[in-house]
């Protein structure tokens, strides 16, 4: 049940026009996907399930698509499968064969020319198969290294982003504006002024990576100023692990048995998803 380029572009445009962002989560289990989709259904938003290259050792692209299909039927909302941060064209081809809707090729740590060249190659593979492409310009680093997100010389350059967008024809473009992946050692401060310049100069809808643990007022501000897809993972894992820990501490694993997850983990994860999606819907 692939969605197709035209419908995906329409969904992205609708989110941008409404000042909303589509939530995108790196999910590896059926229950993570189920709770996320349940919250998306309540909020009336499409949702992306993202597949990281390291997932291949645990769940195949085909299994991932099958889980999405089951949930799409269960909830009746658009659920989008997306390959996150691939450096491999071979993996891009394999997930497209498995039925993915969207792929990211990440050459952001290479030269501008190399990034353009490889991204164009991926576009030439994906578009004929009715699959959209995300790329990254400027490099989103690691939250564990302060310089990765505090040194504004590493942020996405507006002219480069505009040229990249025109040359590659991607549907989504990830930018570095003070965001980083994983846990931030110091509170990040998004460069909203840079985002506004990017929004004005770049036709392609923009994506914010590393959104977990960015203060919610900043996330809301970024969405208001043109971010249409928000990548999340760390917060979801934390909500899940903290709920398991609290349940075990309370001894619920001894009495709850089979229903431990349903009773102890689901409520906490649903609350997390509801609150985060509300921010992305402009209700934060
Ligand atoms: Zn990322």
Q: Which domains does the chain have, with CATH numbers?
A: 5-280 (3.20.20.70)
Measure 210 CA to ligand 1 centroid, in angstroms. Answer: 6
Contact assessment for residue 96 and residue 141, using Cβ atoms and an 8 Å cutoff: no
Ligand 1: centre distance to CA 208 (Å): 8
Residue 140: helix, strand or coil by DSSP?
A: coil
Residue 40, token pair as written in the block: 């998306």
Catalytic residues: 84
Each residue's pLDDT tens digit in the chain (284 positions)? 899 999 999 999 999 999 999 999 999 999 999 999 999 999 999 999 999 999 999 999 999 999 999 999 999 999 999 999 999 999 999 999 999 999 999 999 999 999 999 999 999 999 999 999 999 999 898 999 888 888 888 899 999 999 999 999 999 999 999 999 999 999 999 999 999 999 999 999 999 999 999 999 999 999 999 999 999 999 999 999 999 999 999 988 888 778 889 999 999 999 999 999 999 998 75
Give dist(CA 46, CA 18) in Å, integer: 13
CA distance 53 to 173: 19
Q: What is the pLDDT of residue 15?
A: 96
- Dist. CA 144 → ligand 1 center (Å): 14
| Ligand 1 centroid – CA 209 distance (Å) | 4
What is the CA 80 to chain-centroid distance, rounded?
11
Using DSSP's 3-state secondary structure scheme, residue 189 falls into coil
| DSSP bridge pairs for 24 | 48, 231
Q: Pick from 221, 147, 218, 141: which is nearest to 186 by CA?
A: 147
Distance 44 CA to ligand 1 centre (A): 24
Give residue 255's pLDDT.
Answer: 82
The reported pLDDT for the residue numbered 237 is 97
Please list the alpha-helical segments (H only) found in the chain. Answer: 5-18, 30-43, 61-75, 89-98, 112-126, 146-150, 158-168, 192-201, 216-224, 234-249, 252-256, 260, 266-280
According to the model, what pLDDT value does residue 43 have?
97
> What residue has token string 């990576």?
209
N-term to C-term CA, the chain: 32
pLDDT at 147: 87
Q: At 209, give phi and psi (nearest 5°).
A: -90, 160
DSSP-assigned letters across all residues of 25-92: EE--SHHHHHHHHHHHHHHT--EEEEE-GGGGGTS-HHHHHHHHHHHHHHH-S-EEEEEEEE--HHHH
Q: Which of 169, 5, 36, 193 is nearest to 100 (CA)?
A: 5
Calculate how far, in angstroms, residue 121's C-alpha sits from the geometric centre of ligand 1.
21
pLDDT at position 177: 96
Is residue 99 a contact partner of residue 65, using CB atoms and an 8 Å limit? yes
Using the mean position of ligand 1's atoms as its centre, give its distance from the Cα of residue 256 in Å: 36
């Amino acid at each position: 049940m692939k969605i197709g380029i035209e419908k995906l572009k329409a969904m992205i445009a609708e989110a941008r026009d409404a000042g909303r962002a589509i939530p995108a989560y790196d999910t590896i289990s059926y229950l993570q996907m189920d709770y996320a989709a349940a919250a998306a259904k309540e909020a009336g938003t499409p949702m992306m399930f993202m597949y990281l290259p390291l997932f291949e050792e645990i769940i195949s692209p085909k299994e991932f698509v099958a889980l999405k299909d089951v949930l799409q039927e269960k909830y009746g909302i658009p659920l989008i499968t997306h390959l996150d941060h691939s450096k491999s064209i071979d993996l891009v081809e394999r997930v497209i064969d498995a039925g993915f809707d969207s792929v990211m090729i990440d050459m952001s740590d290479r030269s501008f020319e190399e990034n353009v060249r490889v991204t164009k190659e991926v576009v030439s593979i994906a578009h004929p198969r009715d699959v959209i492409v995300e790329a990254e310009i400027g490099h989103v680093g690691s939250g564990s290294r302060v310089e990765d997100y505090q040194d504004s010389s590493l942020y996405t350059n507006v002219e480069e982003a505009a040229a990249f967008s025109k040359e590659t024809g991607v549907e989504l473009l990830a930018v570095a504006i003070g965001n980083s992946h994983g846990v931030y050692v110091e509170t990040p401060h998004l460069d909203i002024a840079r985002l506004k310049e990017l929004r004005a100069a770049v036709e392609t809808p923009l994506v914010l990576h590393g959104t977990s643990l960015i203060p919610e007022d900043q996330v809301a501000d970024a969405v208001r100023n043109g971010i249409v897809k928000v990548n999340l993972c760390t917060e979801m894992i934390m909500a899940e692990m903290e709920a398991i820990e609290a349940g075990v501490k309370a001894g619920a694993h001894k009495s709850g048995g089979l229903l431990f997850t349903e009773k102890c983990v689901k409520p906490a994860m649903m609350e997390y998803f509801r609150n985060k999606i509300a921010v992305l819907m402009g209700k934060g």
